Amino acid sequence: MMDKEDLRDVLNWDRCKECGECLINCRYMDFSKQEAIEEIKKINRGDVVSSKVIKRCISCYACDAFCPNDAHPYERIVYNWDYRYKIKGLPIRASYLMPTRRPNFRQDLPYSSKEKALHRKWASETPPAKVVLYPGCNLLSMPLLAQGEIFDKLPVWGSWDKCCGEMYFRMGLLDPVAKIAEKLTKFYKGKDIEEMVFVCPAGYNMFTNVLPEQFGAKFPFKTTFFTDWFLNEWEKGTFEIKNRLHESVVMHDSCHGRILGDDFMNRQRSLLERLGLTIHETSQNRTHGLCCGVAAGCNKYSVLDLLLNGMKQLWTLDRAKGDEVAIYCTGCLLTLSCLRLLNPFGKRLVHTLEYARNALGESVPRGNQTKALWVLLGITRYALPTYFSSQRFYVNSEQ
């Protein structure tokens, strides 16, 4: 069981100056400087009773980017959630969202025969090449995105049981994340892989930073984000751009994108600009951008929190310049697609993979809205009937 001592190097207890900068910049809670200082003091001493942040934080993760001392305020918050979880467990309404429980909102979507064939192909026991793409649970939910010329040269390798643990991390369930770090370390040891490419910044951040630095995972390969891999291969002449794009788009940044930094977010824009797109920004963008909403359910396990915070970002994107929304996170694409069903008259949501494949002259099947509909139907069927139940459970990450 992980405790405060296990996380000494991560939480950097002595590094926090209790200046409050991490909370003054919070986009979801409005604190004065003095209030922010008092709140970070409460967080540091584990005051789960009176801390507004521990009760109301929507898990957007951005406070780590705001901290001037690299003191990991976000991890301090989720450490307190972990303490709460160990005492109380999770409400049963959260069960449908757990990647290791069945049914869950990704694995139990209806999949076509072609999609199931891709799942089987990607789940091979041995890696198909020395450079492979890790799909993550969100790309597994929308597998038709990963077809065509790109994936002839970058084969996908991964399956549902290779979960990176990001959802558990965002909920503050530290022991399940530690077990996943151990499991993945054991699985990848000795595998003939030189480079793992990621199309989702959540998985990329987990494999590159969180699992190795905070949970002791060891991976024998280089980690690369898809944008960097594609640009490098394009410059080497591997790919020929056949159709220069002309759309005008507004950028949506993921929570993990903000943590990965300005240079990472700039590279996402650079690729799209080189493909021909005109980039616009929201009024709150980059480090100060808004979450797609999915993390808002990680504290109180509330669908209402998710809806309200996600719709706030969707409205922000729809009011900004640009005819489409450019998204480089597969998780954000799925979440915002669910919200788009509730507000169907706004901008089209398009993933970086779609733009890259369109530029190569390929037609990409648009399946995100259909998947989103099934996600909402699944939540209605499995989660909502237990919404007010007092039953609770603990996660078994080995399921």
pLDDT at 231: 97
The answer, yes or no, to whether residue 228 has pLDDT greater than 70, is yes
**Residue 99, preceding peptide bond in cis (omega within 30° of 0):** no
Answer yes or no: do 37 and 135 share one domain: no
Residue 65 lies in a domain: yes
Where residue 261 falls (left for φ over 0; alpha for ψ -120 to 50; beta otherwise) is left
What are the tens digits of pLDDT across the range 132-168? 999 999 999 999 999 999 999 999 999 999 999 999 9
- Using the 3D structure, point to which of 200, 234, 268 is the last residue of a domain: 234
Q: Which residue, of 178, 212, 234, is where some domain finishes?
A: 234
The answer as to whether 191 is a domain residue is yes
Are 250 and 180 part of one and the same domain? no
Residue 204 has pLDDT above 50, yes or no: yes
Do 46 and 76 lie in one domain? The reply is yes
For residue 359, being part of any structural domain is answered with yes
> What integer pLDDT is reported at residue 49 of this predicted model?
84
Does residue 393 lie within any of the structural domains? no
pLDDT at 199 over 80: yes
Per-residue pLDDT at 123 exceeds 90: yes
Tens of pLDDT, residues 321-334: 999 999 999 999 99
Q: What is the pLDDT of residue 28?
A: 93
Give yes or no: residues 153 and 24 share one domain: no
Judge if 40 and 154 occupy the same domain: no
**Same domain as 373, residue 255:** yes
pLDDT at position 2 is 47
Alpha carbon dihedral 208, 210, 216, 217, in 10-degree steps, equals -40
250 and 306 belong to one structural domain: yes
pLDDT number for residue 373 = 95
Q: What average pLDDT score do residues 81-108 get?
A: 92
Say whether both 230 and 259 belong to one domain: no
pLDDT for the residue numbered 8? 59
- Specify whether 69 is located in the same domain as 113: no
- Tell me the helix, strand and coil percentages in the chain, rounded to 5: 50, 10, 40
252 and 380 co-located in one domain: yes
Same domain, residue pair 136 and 170: yes
Per-residue confidence (pLDDT) for residue 366, from 0 to 100: 84
Domain stops at, among 89, 114, 146? 89
Residue 377 lies in a domain: yes
In a domain, residue 144? The reply is yes
Per-residue pLDDT at 171: 93
Can you give the pLDDT at residue 1? 47
Residue 382 belongs to a domain: yes
* Band of pLDDT at residue 399, cut at 50, 70 and 90: very low
pLDDT reported for residue 12: 66
DSSP state string for 284-306: S-GGGPPP-SGGGGTTT--HHHH
In this structure, what CATH number is given to the domain that contains residue 128? Answer: 3.40.50
Q: What is the pLDDT of residues 352-383, one digit of tens each?
A: 999 999 999 999 988 899 999 999 999 999 99
Helices 330-342 and 368-378 pack at an angle, to 10 degrees, of 70
Helix axes 33-44, 73-88, angle to 10 degrees: 50
Asked if residue 98 is part of any domain, the answer here is no
Higher pLDDT, 10 or 319: 319
Q: In the prediction, which pLDDT does 5 show?
A: 60
Residue 223 has pLDDT above 70, yes or no: yes
Q: What is the pLDDT of residue 10?
A: 62
CA dist 188 to 57, 85, 162, Å?
34, 30, 10
The pLDDT tens digits of the residues spanning 244-275 come to 999 999 999 999 999 999 999 999 999 999 99
Number of domains in the chain: 3
- Report how far residue 103's alpha carbon sits from residue 107's, in angstroms, rounded to the nearest whole number: 7
Domain range for 157: 106-234
Tell whether 178 and 224 lie within a shared domain: yes
Give yes or no for residue 46 having a pLDDT over 90: no
